[in-house]
Amino acid sequence: MESITGFDLQRNIAGWIIKIQSEPAVTEADAEELKSHLLEIIDNLKAAGLHEEEAFWVASRRLGNSTDWGEEYRQENNPVIQMRRSLIILAGVLAYFICYYFILSTSKLLFITLLFSHIGGHMAAEWVLRYLVSWHFAVLLFLISILFLEKKTISFIESIKLKPKHTVILLLTTVVLSITDTCLFPIVKNMISDNHPLRSQLIHFYINFDFSFPLLISLGFIFIYFRYYKKAKFQ
């Protein structure tokens, strides 16, 4: 029966499910089970003569909220939660290497493209340096944005529910990018083999990047860890 107030039952059920799924201790199977219970109670209440809106609110109150059954699910799903945490950590490590190899491979592609465009070798190397530095600023801007989006950041981290297949995809992406970077290196080396000062300059840029970029990421991780870890629900 449709509520006279125009109550949207499906939208409210969807919102209720989203709120449940934001609880780290609740798995997808748990959420589906709770949804089934909710729908069953709503159907029984509607059969008893209640409107959809009344039935929804009564049913949702009967089932309670995350504070009522969150601890029970945490104990029941502890192995799942531990696996999820491990996957998030592994995904974070893989995300770093994806970013790292993406920057290296694209910087080499940039250098090759500039040389084919008849731009001088030293000028092309300077553009590579600017490209590498710009990524440092991009990461720094990202870390600063986290500082001003604290609640959204915590909610985002809590909502991440990685599956093993997602981690495999990240791993394969990392492997592909690392192979690409490895294959591009000898090409760049052959293109400037006769220009020792240019080769030395380019190697110097990459050595600095290999030091500064991991350092920036590490400092950013330490900053995020100490700022948010105690606030996160999955601590």
The DSSP annotation for 76-114 comes to HTHHHHHHHHHHHHHHHHHHHHHHHHHHHHHHHHHHHHH
Q: Of 8-12, 72-76, 177-181, which range is least confident?
A: 72-76
8 Å CB contact between 181 and 105:
yes
| Mean pLDDT value across residues 85-108 | 86
Q: What count of Cα atoms within 13 Å lies in the side-chain half-sphere of residue 151?
A: 0
How does pLDDT run across 118-172, given as a tens digit for each residue?
888 889 999 999 999 999 999 998 888 777 776 676 666 666 666 778 788 888 9
| Domain extents in the chain | 9-75, 78-228
Residue tagged 């001088």 (tokens): 120
pTM (predicted TM-score): 0.63
Per-residue confidence (pLDDT) for residue 3, from 0 to 100: 46
- How far is the C-alpha of 189 from the C-alpha of 140, rounded, in Å? 31
Look at the chain and count its residues.
235
How does pLDDT run across 190-216, given as a tens digit for each residue?
888 788 888 888 999 999 999 999 999
